[in-house]
Amino acid sequence: MKEKIHRSEAAPRRKRTAADVNSHLAMGTGPVPERVRMELKRRVLDIEAGYREVAQKMGQLYMYADQEGLAFLTRYLDRPMRTASENERAMVSILDELQLNASRRLTGSK
């Protein structure tokens, strides 16, 4: 017979934020070689630019749908638009962590 687990006993579930991504990167990072860091930075910048473009286009579509009184469409667009913005912020956090890694490498700190 299955025991019923009360919500308070279950592990809380929440969405990962950019800060979570940043803390996970910081925990396991040692010195990253300069050439690797530069390639990672280039790739992350490319992804971040793509997310930014998607977020901007979603925002424009949302505003147009709102202007035209299409409430059903704005409801559908709300979540994907927020997700695109969250993804962009996550990429910025990764860029920040790469920069911190480079700074720690230059100063010799951990």
Answer yes or no: is 17 within a domain: no
Answer yes or no: is 94 within a domain: yes
Distance of CA 95 to the CA centre of its chain: 11
Answer yes or no: is 73 within a domain: yes
Of residues 70 and 27, more confidence is placed in 70
62-97 confidence digits (pLDDT tens)? 999 999 999 999 999 989 888 888 888 899 999 998
CA distances from 35 to 40, 48, 101 (A): 9, 20, 13
- The average pLDDT across 96-102 equals 85
Answer yes or no: is 8 within a domain: no
Answer yes or no: is 58 within a domain: yes
Answer yes or no: is 14 within a domain: no
Answer yes or no: is 1 within a domain: no
State residue 70's pLDDT score. Answer: 96
Q: Domain total for the chain?
A: 1
pLDDT > 90 in the chain, percent = 32
Answer yes or no: is 15 within a domain: no
38-55 confidence digits (pLDDT tens)? 999 999 999 989 988 988
Give the range of the structural domain holding residue 36, as residue numbers without chain letter. Answer: 32-107
- How much is the pTM? 0.60
State residue 75's pLDDT score. Answer: 93
